[in-house]
Structure 1
Amino acid sequence: MTDAISSILSQIRAHELRTQGSLGPASAAGDARPSNAIGTAQPAAPSFQQTLSNAIDGVSKAQNDAGALQQAFEVGDPRADLARVMVAMQHSQVAFKAAVEVRNRLVQAYQEVMNMPI
């Protein structure tokens, strides 16, 4: 389980690095990307708040989809087979556990910052 959480966290970090684009510190360290000579504005990288909000929305969507699929199976919908229901439920459970772990690490980081001597 720890490996799965570490994998998800590394995916989040990789996504953040990709979204930073040429606006991040990589360009200051000699990134070989061509500059924007035409003068068109580059899209801004999403903020941490937006990234976290999108992740929470994704978890909520996964849970809602799993619930709807479970309800369709209970009603007897032939398109909702047991395997799909179980996979959707496990997917939503893993997503929720990952979100809780991220929240726990954020709270821990906040507490460490608040306990720092000035």
Structure 2
Amino acid sequence: MKTSGLGIDSSRIQAMMEQLKAHAARPQATPPAIKTEAPAAKVEFSDALKKSLDAVAESQNQSEALGKRFQMGDDSVSLSDVMISMQKASINFQATVQVRNKLVSAYHDIMNMQV
């Protein structure tokens, strides 16, 4: 086992980097709504927003649970798993805040329009 001066297993870091590169290189699947074979189902904005917010809350809950398992000494949870989970939850939350900011801005623009 190789360790750097900080006591970190460099082979695990290298393996994680390879996993991230492999995941990034994988082609993304097209969402069902974009496929042209079947007509797209009507999606209500409020339903899509609620689903998105639920997904963000779920990612935060999973991240918190993973962190607690790591703190309690669960050997099946590594620090890198916890950190990646926390970063995913953070990115999801930041994206949600940006969408909210755009919605508020659009609302203000519409309310300030002359009719």
| Per-residue Cα deviation, 1:65-101 (whole angstroms, up to 9, x for no partner) | 0000000000000111100000000000000000000
Cα distance change on mapping 1:20 and 1:115 into 2, 3 Å: farther
Deviates more, 1:65-74 or 1:47-56: 47-56
Does 1:89 find its partner at 2:86?
yes
- Tell me, in whole angstroms, the C-alpha distance in 2 between the residues paired with 1:21 and 1:114: 36
Q: Which residue of 1 aligns with 2:33?
A: 19
**Which aligned segments of 4 or more residues in structure 1 are displaced greater than 4 angstroms?**
none
Aligned to 1:4: none
Q: How many percent of aligned residue pairs carry the same amino acid?
A: 35
Residue from 85, 97, 100 that aligns with 1:100: 97
Q: In structure 2, how many angstroms separate the alpha carbons of the residues matched to 1:112 and 1:43?
A: 30
- Separation in 2 of the partners of 1:114 and 1:95? 29
Partner Cα separation in structure 2 for residue 101 and residue 60 of structure 1:
16
Unaligned 5+ segments in structure 2 are: 1-29
Structure number with greater CO (CA < 8 Å, separation at least 6) is 1
Report the structure, 1 or 2, having the larger helix content. 1
Does the aligned pair in 2 maintain the 1:73–1:81 contact within 8 Å? yes
Q: Gapped runs of 5+ residues in structure 1?
A: 1-13, 23-32, 35-41
What is the RMSD computed on CA atoms of the aligned residues? Answer: 2.4
TM-score relative to the length of structure 1:
0.65
User: Whole-Å Cα distance in 1 between the matches of residues 41 and 34 of structure 2?
Assistant: 8
Q: TM-score scaled to structure 2, two decimals?
A: 0.67
